[in-house]
Every structure is written in C-alpha cells, then in structure tokens.
Structure 1
Amino acid sequence: MKMEFTIKHTWDGLPVSHEPVTIVLKSDNAGLLMEVTAPFINDPPAPLGEPGKPFSRLWDYEVVEAFFLSDRTEHYLEVELCPHGQHLVLLLSGKRRVWEVSGQVHSNEELPLEFEVTRMKTKWEGKAHLPWSYFPPSTNKFNAFAIHGSGEDRKYEALYPVPQHELQEGQKPDFHRLEFFKDLNLKELMGEDWKQPESDIWKFLPN
C-alpha cells in the first residue's frame, strides 16, 4: 500500500514551471517510509553540514518538506529533506512553536533520521524512515512543500496551497497555515485495525 502526492502548485496556487515533486508514503515496520522524487535545481549551493546529519535552518536551502499534523492539538511533525543529504526534523506545538525536547530524548534540531539520497544531473531521489515516535498522537492532516532558488528566483511550492480567495496583497509564503492542511487517514496505509503507536517523545509534552 502507498499514498502518492504531487506538488503541482506554488504556495499561492500557480502551476509549477518544472517537473513536479512527488512524495510517496509507504508503511514501514516501525513508522512510515517517505520517498521523494524531485528535480535537482542545485540552487542554492549545498549546505556546509555533513550529509546524513541534521542541519539547522535547512529551509534556507533546496528542500522538500512534509508536515504531519494532529488538528485536535495543533501538534505537528516537520520533516525537511535536502538533495545534498542533510535533513531536519522538528516537533512543533502550535503554529511555528518549535518544541524544545532537549531535556528528554534529543535536542529537537538533532533528531536523527535514516535518510539516503540518490542524486543525478537533473533529478534526485530520497528515502527517509520516519519512526512512529516522531508523529504526534492522532495525526490526521498533512501538507508538503518544496523550496529552491536564490534571491528573487526563490520558489515556494505547496501540495495544498493557500486558496486564491484567501490571498491578501503583499502576503508572503507561510507553510504553517495549518487551516489549509488536508486529511490524512493513515489507516488507508496501515489497515483498518491499525492504531497509531504511542510516542515516547510526545508524551513528555502537556496537551
């Protein structure tokens, strides 16, 4: 079983001007396998961090991002993957509020991720294993994004963009508009009898 998503629009609803980014979610024995296929723009240049390791402020580079939300609590998981091999996992409690878990399991910006990249001249593919412990309880909403380019050519793309009628003059891209995320029923992937495993990380966070 798998779920496939294609990022066909910019954050404000315009068609993308290249082969769109595809994200596939598959059941993995201890979580989800997230597979990315994306054009390799190679702009901006690679982050200076070591491939395979977390990198702070990865969103300033070329990335594909997936957000997994529980709309009941506004707790969400943000996964950022870079074609150069770096990654960033953030746990958020409320819009843009990165939850500091440093006293518990790991510092939030150092959460490990099993992530492998295959990079070709004009395309890259990534596979990331997302453990269930990273997902907030009752995950039921999803959105995905892609960012690349530098300066005025910086492009922000969204699976579920801000609807045209919601746009306001001068509005900037904002990937944390949780109200525009759409339903994600993980039972379609895992089976009707499946229950989301309890997280040993999120249980430290008061509701």
Structure 2
Amino acid sequence: MLHAKLFFNCLTCKFLFLFFLAEGPVLLVLKWHLGSLMETSFLICLMQNIKMEFTIEHTWDDLPVSHKPVTIGLKSYDGGLLMVVNAPFFNDPPAPLGEPGKPFRNLWDYEVVEAFFLNDRTEQYLEVELCPHGQHLLLLLSGKRRVWKEELPLEFEVTRMETKWEGKAHLPWNYFPPCTNKFNAFAIHGSGDQRKYEALHPVPRCELQEGQKPDFHRLEFFKELNLKRLMGEDWKQPESDIWESHAN
C-alpha cells in the first residue's frame, strides 16, 4: 500500500511528496527553483524525520508472539543512526547488577532488544544490545560469532514505565561495517523454561530441525537493509577507522 504526504515550501516554491512504501520511505522532490542554503536546510530537516520501522511479531522459530510486539525505528541522527526501541516491559529476569548507561557483559542473559547490522559479503557485523534497565552491549564481529571488539561506548537513554519502555541509542557510522546491507532484530525476556526468543526475520518453519535451539547468528536469514532510503540516493556510507584498523 502507498501512503503519501505533501509538503509545500513557499520560500523556494516547490512541492515535496513523501511516499511510504512497504519497503520503506521514498522521497520525491519536484523543484520550481534551484537550491539555496535555506532549501538545503529544509531538505536535511525533512530527511531527518524519515524513519524505517520494524516490528518483531514472531518467535525465533516463526510462531506469533503472545504480547504487544516490540518495534524498532531507525532514522538519521548526527553522524549516524538513532535507534528507537518501544517494547513491553516484563521485568523478567531482574535487572543486571551493572551501572545503567554502561556496557554490561553477557547482557543477552537478561531482558534485551538486539539489532544486527551486517555486510553479507564479508560477514562483518555490528551487534547492538539494549536493556530496559539502561545497560547496553555493543560488539563488532568479523565472521559468524567471531567477536573482535566489544563494550563500545554508547549514548543510550531509557524511559521506563510499569508495563513498557522506550530506549534511544545513538549509533555512530564509525561502528557500522563497510557496505552494511542486511539487518535482523531480536527480543529476549523471561526466565528458565519461560525464556522467550523473538526475531524480526525468524527461521522459517520448513528450515527447522529437531532439537534446534535459538541462534541469532543465522546470517543467512537476515534481510535487506537499504540505508539510502533513509539517507538519500546520493548518500555513501562514511568510512570507519575502527573497521579499517581491523582490516590492517
């Protein structure tokens, strides 16, 4: 389904149509006059308000979740992406013992929402783990499960209520592997045999094997992430000195 919003900038005499497709937002600009500094600022402001939104509606093995689903939004923000999580708050397991706002090892053993940003050719990826109690964990991996850098600093804010929480994380481009083009996201909560593992792009039922366990590093099930839909068709992903140092 196609939705459109129409904007008119009276200062530069042009219409802007913002189309929302199933795959993400697309910006079409019809110009009456060529650009100016004000026009450029206007477009930058508009692009910063475009976002991608993903909803985690299935368990890792492709069954429907039994609660209001977790959503993850991505938008352009100050030299990187702003990742916004809206999720139910289960408070199970209890909060990690680490200080809120700081990295916490093995955060995946707690209540978390995770996002993975992948270059599927090199199998280099960024793993982002966010906890409703304020802790976080960022890992850089080169090859499946092969962590080479972890506990990266992160600007992360949490607003927590009785039954839901919102987290905002500022992810600098420096953390993203070159040519990021695939994505998956996950949510975990619960304890013991009530532990729940949920996935944006789950393992299809036809691919399941007897006795199979949840595995968030099944890179073959990640799906396309076209960041130009957020940043504009002329955008090129900034180089990362962190990843460049690893290559050398």
Matched AA of 1:144: A
User: 1:29 Cα deviation (Å)?
Assistant: 1.9
User: 1:144 Cα deviation (Å)?
Assistant: 0.1
Alignment partner of 1:196 out of 212, 219, 237: 237
1:76/1:91 contact within 8 Å kept:
yes
Q: Higher RCO, 1 or 2 (CA under 8 Å, sep at least 6)?
A: 1
User: 1:184 Cα deviation (Å)?
Assistant: 0.2
- Asked whether 1:56 is paired with 2:105, we answer yes
Instruction: Encode CA deviations 1:24-68: one digit per residue, 9 max, x unaligned.
Output: 000112100000000000000000000000000000000000000
Matched AA of 1:83: P
1:180 corresponds in structure 2 to 221
User: 1:200 Cα deviation (Å)?
Assistant: 1.1
1:104 corresponds in structure 2 to none
Instruction: Encode CA deviations 1:99-157: one digit per residue, 9 max, x unaligned.
Output: 1xxxxxxxx33210000000000000000000000000000000000000000000000
Provide the C-alpha distance between the structure 1 equivalents of 2:160 and 2:78, rounded to a whole number of angstroms.
Answer: 26
Q: TM-score by structure 2 length? A: 0.79
SS in 2 for 1:17: coil
SS in 1 for 2:165: strand
Identity across aligned pairs (percent)? Answer: 84
1:58/1:80 contact within 8 Å kept:
yes
- Asked whether 1:25 is paired with 2:74, we answer yes
Unaligned runs of 5+ in 1: 100-107
- Asked whether 1:80 is paired with 2:129, we answer yes
Provide the C-alpha distance between the structure 2 equivalents of 1:201 and 1:163, rounded to a whole number of angstroms.
Answer: 35
Residues 145-156 of structure 1 aligned to structure 2 (within 5 Å): 145-156=186-197
Matched AA of 2:98: G
Structure 1 or 2, whichever has the larger Rg, is: 2
SS in 2 for 1:203: helix
1:55/1:109 contact within 8 Å kept:
no
Provide the C-alpha distance between the structure 2 equivalents of 1:82 and 1:31, rounded to a whole number of angstroms.
Answer: 21
2:14 corresponds in structure 1 to none
SS in 2 for 1:59: helix
2:120 corresponds in structure 1 to 71
CA RMSD of aligned residues (A): 0.8
Provide the C-alpha distance between the structure 2 equivalents of 1:109 and 1:178, rounded to a whole number of angstroms.
Answer: 19
Residues 87-102 of structure 1 aligned to structure 2 (within 5 Å): 87-99=136-148
1:141/1:181 contact within 8 Å kept:
yes
- Which of the two has greater strand per residue? 2
Q: TM-score by structure 1 length? A: 0.95
Matched AA of 2:138: V
1:10 corresponds in structure 2 to 59
